[in-house]
Amino acid sequence: MERNNLYPIFLKTKNLHVLIVGGGFVAEEKLTFLLKSSPDAKVTMVSPMFREGTIALAKKGDVTLIKKKYSRRYLKGKHMVVATTNIPEINVKIYKHCRKRNTLVNVADNPPYCDFYMGGIVTKGNVKVAISTNGKSPTTAKRLRQFFEEVIPENIDDLVKNLNEFRKTIKGDFEEKVETLNEFTKGLIEKKES
């Protein structure tokens, strides 16, 4: 059975600078998902044209729109790049430029040219669940996202905050604290009788 070997991380996109190359539907989709999950993300978009929706969305966040064709100079100072142009040769060129600079790159809908995937995300307050299908099926990730949005309770944030306060009051060493918290939270994952 094939295994997903991706390592999930949660990026502080406020501290990073993301470049999206392209101004079409896919670029707008990537910006939408990025800002939905990380409204404080620092983003630059480069494209000869932008959709009206992208322009409106950019005003809601820390997004700079540059109405020009892609050039490698736009990679300066960028930590992550998402290439979404409808010209495959340009996307591959962007990938190669990023590889030379050790900049993480995602060429939309082209897994061999991706250092990372933008998976399905569920956010409830301080709790965030990221879903990956190893780049194989965005539809499955979407369905799993919908499932987790339904099953994670809305008050999960209260639980997180209360557990954090409770954790501060527990005496003992690390192992004893973990054991106490495990005992205290085991009801969270017990199957409910139907």
- pLDDT tens-digit readout, 78-96: 999 999 999 999 999 999 9
For residue 193, pLDDT beyond 60: no
pLDDT in tens, 113-151: 999 998 889 988 888 999 998 878 888 988 999 999 888
For residue 187, pLDDT beyond 70: no
- Asked if 74 and 49 count as a contact pair (C-beta separation under 8 A), the reply is no
pLDDT of res. 190: 58
pTM above 0.85, yes or no: no
pLDDT of res. 174: 75
CA 45/CA 32 separation, integer angstroms:
13
Q: Which of 25, 94, 75, 79 is nearest to 53 (CA)?
A: 25
pLDDT in tens, 154-164: 888 877 777 77
CA geometry: angle 38, 61, 161, nearest 5 deg: 35
For residue 5, pLDDT beyond 70: yes
- How is residue 143 written in tokens? 């369905």
pLDDT of res. 156: 83
- Point out which residues pair with 82 in neighbouring strands: 20, 106
- How is residue 132 written in tokens? 């990956």
- All residues at 6 or more sequence positions from 141 whose CB lies less than 8 Å from its CB, including other chains: 119, 120, 131, 132, 133
134: left (phi over 0), alpha (psi -120 to 50) or beta: left
CA 48/CA 51 separation, integer angstroms:
11
CATH number of 18-118: 3.40.50.720
Residue 94, classed as helix, strand or coil, is helix
Q: What is the 3-state secondary structure (H, E, C) of 110-152?
A: CHHHECCCCCEEEEECCEEEEECCCCCCHHHHHHHHHHHHHHC
Instruction: Give the start-to-end residue ranges of the domains of the chain.
Output: 18-118, 119-152, 156-187
Mean pLDDT, rounded, for 38-63 = 97
Confidence of residue 194 (pLDDT cuts 50, 70, 90): very low
